[in-house]
Amino acid sequence: MIPGAVGLLFTGLWLFAIFDCVINEPEKTAWIVILLFFSFPGSIIYLLIRWLPRRNSQIPNFFGRWTRKRELWSAEVDAKNIGKAYQYIKLGDIRYDIAMYEEAEEAYQMALEKESDNNQALWGLASAQIKNKKFVLAKENLEKLLEIDPEYKYGDASLAYGETLFNLQELDSAKEHLQRHLKSWTHPEAAITLAKILAEEGDRKSAHECLQNMISKLKGSSYFHYKRHRRAVSRAEKLLRKLS
Specify the pLDDT at position 222: 83
Evaluate whether 92 touches 114 at the Cβ level (below 8 Å): no
C-alpha distances (whole Å) from 179 to each of 106, 131, 140, 169, 171 are 33, 24, 20, 16, 12
pLDDT band of 13, cuts 50, 70, 90: confident
Residue 170: is its pLDDT beyond 50? yes
Evaluate whether 116 touches 148 at the Cβ level (below 8 Å): no
Specify the pLDDT at position 61: 56
Specify the pLDDT at position 59: 53
| Distance (Å, whole) CA 130 – CA 5 | 43
Specify the pLDDT at position 1: 37
Residue 60: is its pLDDT beyond 70? no
Is 29 or 114 the better-scoring residue by pLDDT? 114
In 25-84, where does DSSP find H-type helix?
Answer: 28-46, 52-54, 61-67, 69-81
pLDDT band of 46, cuts 50, 70, 90: confident
CA 159 to chain centre: 12
Evaluate whether 65 touches 72 at the Cβ level (below 8 Å): yes
pLDDT band of 77, cuts 50, 70, 90: very high
| Distance (Å, whole) CA 211 – CA 224 | 20
Q: What is the pTM of this model?
A: 0.75
Specify the pLDDT at position 42: 86
Evaluate whether 187 touches 235 at the Cβ level (below 8 Å): no
